[in-house]
Amino acid sequence: MTDERTGAQVMCEALVREEVEVMFGIPGGAIMPFYHAMWEYRDRLRHVLCRHEQGAGHAAEGYARSTGKPGVCVATSGPGATNLVTPIANAWMDSTPLVAITGQVSSAVLGKDAFQETDITGITLPITKHNYRVSRAEDLPSVFREAFHIARTGRPGPVLIDVTKDAQQARLVPDWNVTLNVPGFSAPVGLDPRAIREAARILAGASKPLILAGQGVIISDAVAELRTLAERTGIPVVTTLHGIGAFPEDHPLSIGMPGMHGWVHVNRAIQECDVLLSIGARFDDRVTGKASTFAPRASVIHIDIDPSEIGKNVKVAVAIIGDARAALRALIELIPPRDAAIWLRNIRETQATHQHRQPYMRRPDTTELMPHDVYAALNAALNKRGGYRVITDVGQHQMWAAQLIEWRRPRTHITSGGAGTMGFAVPAAMGAAIAHPDETIWAIVGDGGFQMTNQELATIGQEGIKNVKVAIVNNGYLGMVRQWQQLFEGRRYSGTPLTGPSFAGLAEAYGLRGFTVDRIEDAEESIRAAWDHDGSVVLDFRVQREANVFPLVPPGLSIGEMITREAPA
C-alpha cells in the first residue's frame, strides 16, 4: 500500500524527476487534485499563483528563455486552458521550451459539454510541438517523460498535457521504469560532412561574406563557437531580433540588426553580400522584407536544426541540418583563416553616413522627454552595472530597445518576436526574476502592452519579488500602429489614442514603488534609483507622443528600400 499514489502525486513526482523548480498557474475545479497533491511537494516545487493564466504562461516563458530550461504553467479546464492559448502560441513561434499542464473534466462526462469543458488538445493542435490528453493515470509517467523530452529536444517548443480529473484522482502504483518511445520524433543525427565541406569551400571563396545569427546560436549554446568562427574569418556578424546577445555588439565584427527596423548599413550589406551564412535563424518576413528580393547576390548557407526551415522562405545553396554548435565546430575545423577587411570597411563607411545607434530623427527643438533619452540612460546603466536581463514587449519601445541598447550577452534580451504578443513583458520579467533572483530584470514595455497584463504586479507583490523594474515608454498611443497610420494612412489615428490610470499610482496600489518621469534630466536618476531600490519598481516615462521608429522598411517592400525619416511636410 505504501507505494500507492494518486495520479496527481505522480504528476508532482514526475515534475520533480524532470528537475522542475517552479511552476506558474491558477487552480480550478478540474485541476484541484493536482493542487491538493502539490501541497505535499511545496518544499521542492514552488507554485506561483498568477492573476491570469496568460500571465502564468508568459512567466513560464520568461523563466524558460532566461534559463534554457523548460518553463511550466498550470491551468484548469475550460477558460483556464483557453487563457493559456496565447502564451502557447507565443512559445511555438519563438521556439521556447514550455510544458503546459491543464486539468480536464472527468472521463465520465468528457464530450458531454460538461461544466468548464473545452477540447484544449484540439484547440492547441497547430501551436504545440505535441500534446496529450491523459485519462489513464498509468500513462502519466511516460507522458511526462515524453513531454519534457519533446519540449526541450531539437528545436524547443511547447507541449501541452491535459489530464482528466479522474486520472488525477485514480490510485496506482506508478511504474517509473519508463523508456522513451517516440519513433516519429527524430532529432537530427550526425551532420552531413559533405554539406560542411561545401559550406567551408563557399565561405573560403567569398569576397563579401556575412553571418546572420539567430536564436539558434543561443539555444545551442554556440556563442563562443560563433565568435571563434567570426574572428578566424573576419566575417561581419548580423544578429536578428532573437539573435541579440549571440554576438557582443561592442565587438569590431558586430554590425547590428537587419530587417524592417534594422540599420541601413546592415540591410545594404545583406543585399550586397555574396555569401550569407545563416545560423539558427528562420528568415522571418520581418527580417527578409519581400523575400524574393532578399540577398539577391548571395549563396545562402543555412544551418538549422529543423529541416522544415530549409528553403521555406529563402532559396538555400547549402543546407546544414543539425545543432548550431556542432555545425560551427565542424566548420571552424575546415575553414582556413582569412579576413574580410575591405568589405567590413565598406559597411562601416555606410554605417558612418547613417549614424549607428543615434536617433535617425532630428530631436525636435523642445524640452520634451524623447524615447531616445530613456534608452540612452538605460543603456548606460545596464552596461555599467551588468547583472541584468531585459524583457521587452511588442511595438515601438521594443524596436528602440533592440536598436539603442548595446547588447553583449546571450539571454539578456528576451522578447516576443514571432507572435508579437503585447502583454508579454511584465509576466515574462516576473518569470525571469524568479529564475535569477540575484539579477535585475528590466521590463521595457509600452503603455498599451503594460495595460494588457499589469495585473501580474499583484503576483510580484504577493511573491515578494524585488528585482523587477518596469520601464513604461508611455506615449499615450498604440504607438507602432499610430506610426503606420501616420506614414501610410494619412494620419488617420483610428483606434490608437490611449489613456490609462496613473501607472505610478497603480504600482503603489499594488504595493510596489512607482515614479512618473517626464523630464530629460530625471531619466538617468530615476533609473539609478529604481535599480538601487530594494523592491520592484514601475517607472512611467512620459515621452514625446509622436516619436517614430526609424529606419523602417515599409511592409511588402525589399529591405533595400528603407525610410529613414518622416517625409518633409
Partner 1 sequence: MRHTLIALVEDRPGALNRVLGLLRGRGLGLHSIAVGDSETPGVKRTTVLVDTESVEQTIKQLNRLIEVLEVTDVTNAEYVVRETALVKIHAPEPRRDEIKTVADVFGARIVGSSPQTVVVEMTDTPDRLGEMIARVMAIGACETMRSGSLAMALGGPTPRVNAVSEDATRVWWSQADGIS
d(Cα 141, Cα 9) in Å, to the nearest integer? 11
Q: Contacting partner 1 (CB under 8 A), which of 43, 126, 336, 556?
A: 126
Contact flag: residue 179 with partner 1 (CB under 8 A)? no
Q: Which of 69, 129, 165, 469 is catalytic?
A: 165
Q: Contacting partner 1 (CB under 8 A), which of 1, 189, 341, 567?
A: 189
53 SS3 class: helix
d(Cα 194, Cα 171) in Å, to the nearest integer? 54
Contact flag: residue 89 with partner 1 (CB under 8 A)? no
Contact flag: residue 107 with partner 1 (CB under 8 A)? no
Contact flag: residue 316 with partner 1 (CB under 8 A)? yes
Contact flag: residue 317 with partner 1 (CB under 8 A)? yes
Tell me the three-class secondary structure of 60-97, residue by residue.
Answer: HHHHHHHHCCCEEEEECCCHHHHCCHHHHHHHHHCCCC
d(Cα 258, Cα 289) in Å, to the nearest integer? 10
d(Cα 29, Cα 279) in Å, to the nearest integer? 45
Binding map of partner 1 across residues 132-151, x = CB under 8 A, - = no contact = -x----------------x-
Contact flag: residue 198 with partner 1 (CB under 8 A)? yes
CA 216 to chain centre: 12
DSSP 8-state symbol, 517: E
Contact flag: residue 163 with partner 1 (CB under 8 A)? no
CA distances from 501 to 277, 450, 474 (A): 48, 11, 12
Nearer to partner 1, 190 or 464 (CB): 190
CB of 484 to partner 1, least distance (A): 26
Nearer to partner 1, 117 or 249 (CB): 117
Of the listed pieces 5-13, 306-314, 465-473, 514-522, which binds partner 1 according to CB under 8 A? Answer: 306-314
Residues 6+ positions from 463 with CB-CB distance below 8 Å: 48, 430, 434
Tell me which residues in 320-379 interact with partner 1 (CB under 8 A): 321
Contact flag: residue 180 with partner 1 (CB under 8 A)? no
Contact 321, 279 (CB under 8 A): no
Annotated catalytic residue 403: no
Contact 272, 255 (CB under 8 A): no
DSSP string computed for 360-381: SSPPPSS-BPPHHHHHHHHHHH
Nearer to partner 1, 316 or 435 (CB): 316
Q: Which of 21, 32, 116, 462 is catalytic?
A: 116
Q: Which of 4, 115, 355, 489 is catalytic?
A: 115
DSSP string computed for 430-468: HHHHHH-TTSEEEEEEEHHHHHHHTTHHHHHHHTT---E
Residues 6+ positions from 509 with CB-CB distance below 8 Å: none
C-alpha cell at 21: 523548480
Angle between helices 396-404 and 479-488 (to 10 degrees): 90
Tell me which residues in 216-235 interact with partner 1 (CB under 8 A): none
Q: Contacting partner 1 (CB under 8 A), which of 139, 169, 185, 383?
A: 185
State how beta strands 513-517 and 130-134 pair: unpaired
Annotated catalytic residue 53: yes
Q: Which of 13, 18, 53, 225 is catalytic?
A: 53
Contact flag: residue 152 with partner 1 (CB under 8 A)? no
Contact flag: residue 122 with partner 1 (CB under 8 A)? yes
Nearer to partner 1, 37 or 195 (CB): 195
CB of 300 to partner 1, least distance (A): 9
Q: Which of 38, 93, 257, 480 is catalytic?
A: 480
DSSP 8-state symbol, 320: E
Tell me which residues in 244-303 interact with partner 1 (CB under 8 A): 299
Of the listed pieces 35-43, 186-194, 476-484, 531-539, which binds partner 1 according to CB under 8 A? Answer: 186-194
Annotated catalytic residue 480: yes
CB of 157 to partner 1, least distance (A): 10
Of the listed pieces 48-56, 180-188, 422-430, 524-532, which binds partner 1 according to CB under 8 A? Answer: 180-188
CB of 367 to partner 1, least distance (A): 51
CB of 69 to partner 1, least distance (A): 21
Nearer to partner 1, 255 or 318 (CB): 318
Residue type present at position 119: D
- Residue carrying C-alpha cell 539555444: 219
Binding-site residue total for partner 1 (CB under 8 A)?
32
Does the CA dihedral 16-17-21-27 come out positive or negative? Answer: negative
Of the listed pieces 55-63, 117-125, 544-552, 557-565, which binds partner 1 according to CB under 8 A? Answer: 117-125
d(Cα 54, Cα 101) in Å, to the nearest integer? 13
Q: Contacting partner 1 (CB under 8 A), which of 10, 37, 195, 422?
A: 195
- Count how many residues are written for the chain: 569
Nearer to partner 1, 159 or 434 (CB): 159
Express the helix, strand and coil content of the chain in percent, nearest 5 each.
40, 20, 40
Annotated catalytic residue 165: yes
Does the CA dihedral 378-379-385-387 come out positive or negative? Answer: positive
Please report, as ranges, the residues that interact with partner 1 according to CB under 8 A.
121-122, 125-126, 129-130, 133, 150, 182-186, 188-189, 192, 194-195, 198, 202, 299, 306-308, 310-312, 316-319, 321
Enumerate the active-site residues.
53, 115-116, 165, 480
